[in-house]
Chain A
């Protein structure tokens, strides 16, 4: 029944490793997003895809690479993890990019040792 689901919920790993976070939505939405929430709770958009096409690519290190195999999935791969990557990453989806609200997953808490 979960509308936007992310896996894993927690991810603890060493500096320098490569990791992926997966996101799936079953709402039939055509637009998906990745946000980063830092330790002060500040939320910032990272990427957005509409119908598998990248439409938002904010100032994010190129170690971060999103991939959207289809409209219902948007995965985030991170290479060479750094301490500063520790945060909670949220996936969201919406129908269009206009007036419709975004629906959020429960987040993935990434901790870099």
Chain B
């Protein structure tokens, strides 16, 4: 497996609370991504980063923010979690500009 870890692996929280998910890589890859995976929708891109402090929106970015202060860490924050954000979140990395991406193990988030 590529050196990607995600934390926490599971989280249950309540509507309205802030949540931060962390992705950590040891591959020194330039690109990092956050996806969510829901039944019937496949993987959908939330945000991505093309370098330290360089981020951009994906197709489902509303309600999410990201930060990347170091090459190895990419944080996804839900400022005020809603039940519609219950999902499995995957981080991915790439060193070839949106080409082959390598995925982390995922975080299962439940918002009650």
Same complex: no
Residues of B within 8 A of A (CB): none
